[in-house]
Amino acid sequence: MSWTGIAAAAAIMIPALPPAPPPAAAEARPQASADAEITVLTYNVKGLPWPFATGRATALREIGRELARMRLEGRSPDVVLIQEGFRWEIADLVRASGYRYWAQGPRLGAAKLSRVTGEGPRWRSVRYPLKGEGWGKFTGSGLHVLSDLPVSRVEGAVYRHCAGFDCLASKGVMLVRLSLPGGEEVEVVNTHLNSRGRSGVPAKRTLRAHNGQTDEFLQFLAERHAPDLPLLIGGDFNVRNAPERYDYEATARPYKVVAEFCGEPGAGCEGHAPPADARPWLALQDLQAFGSDRSVEIRPVRIDTLFGSAGRKALSDHLGYMVSYRIRRRGADPGEAPPTATATAQAGRALLTVLEPR
């Protein structure tokens, strides 16, 4: 995301959403099948305000219509993770798409993550004051999750680390808990990390900010994710052609990156061409990943890229990256409901809107 001023960012904001309705009375849990499937799309929609980008209102509405067409054709993802959804026309995208549940990530003024345990040298938050550092936040996180599956939990936080003009946005991370048909629950995480050249500051500064955000991201997962639930992750990680970013704390990840998994011999991911080089995931800004404890087997089974048809004007400077996953609870009886997660916090419920069926 490129920032060269603040007036438009301060003036154009997504309208506040009404609070989510009160939780429904407890119902008997449905019976679980041995397998469950879920398809997740992550997409940086370039929803930047003018003058940082032009023509974005039209493009955002067209993205919503394209998602609606996919729905009519029976190929829409169950969940959509959006980054850079800063403009108010995101509401038009959501309503056109037909998704029932809309969760927003951290808004302007949201709490930042706590200091990471064992963090290295103290981070100097303002080093380049002419490049946006120290100006304060002028937008929310730009993160959104759209879902056809019921949402029972929404959490989010803003990263403390940032560099350059990226500091004007509340870049951070959000988590939603979803209920799959058959009773299984899954947690889905959406995030957006610091850019490089577009932040306007030296690469060394942006790398340290990105590393700090990675530490915060991993701590967020450790503190907020229920470990007995399957975990799906997507977002704009800003790691294209940057092994020094991608490799940082790689061994500490409680998840496997889809592009790595599907590049392994015998992975059997449909739609994934064999890698032409040793590390094809470094060609991507946007990643998806998955993780689970030993009681659950989860694996990607198909990968698709969207919104990049030849001869058609691109709707964003990113492609949509869609992954279908199969989830199986090991040793599950088809007639047995899966266990309920112990973490039941409802933090951030005001960030959830339930839309009327179309």
Query: Residues 320-341: pLDDT tens digits?
Result: 999 999 998 876 555 555 544 4
Could you read off the pLDDT of 48-92 as tens digits, one per residue? 876 677 678 889 999 999 999 999 999 999 999 999 999 889 999
Main-chain dihedrals φ then ψ at residue 3, nearest 5 degrees: -130, 125
User: What pLDDT was estimated at residue 150?
Assistant: 96
Choose between 307 and 339: higher pLDDT.
Answer: 307
d(CA 18, CA 244): 42
Could you read off the pLDDT of 284-294 as tens digits, one per residue? 789 999 999 88
Strand partners, 101: 147, 354
Per-residue b or e along 135-165, where b marks 16 or more CB atoms closer than 10 Å to that residue's CB: bebbbbbbbbbbbbbebbbbbbbbbbbbbbb
Per-residue b or e along 189-214, where b marks 16 or more CB atoms closer than 10 Å to that residue's CB: bbbbbbbbebbbbeeebbbbbbbbbb
CB atoms under 10 Å from CB of 233, counted, come to 29
Domains along the chain? 7-13+32-338 (3.60.10.10)
3-state secondary structure of 46: strand
Nearest to 100 by CA among 21, 160, 155: 21
d(CA 177, CA 340): 12
d(CA 2, CA 5): 9
User: What pLDDT was estimated at residue 334?
Assistant: 52
Q: How far apart are the first and last CA of the chain?
A: 33
User: What pLDDT was estimated at residue 198?
Assistant: 86
In the sheet with 185-192, reading across from the earlier edge strand, the strands are 151-158, 172-179, 185-192, 231-236, 286-291, 256-257
The share of the chain scoring above pLDDT 90, in percent, equals 56
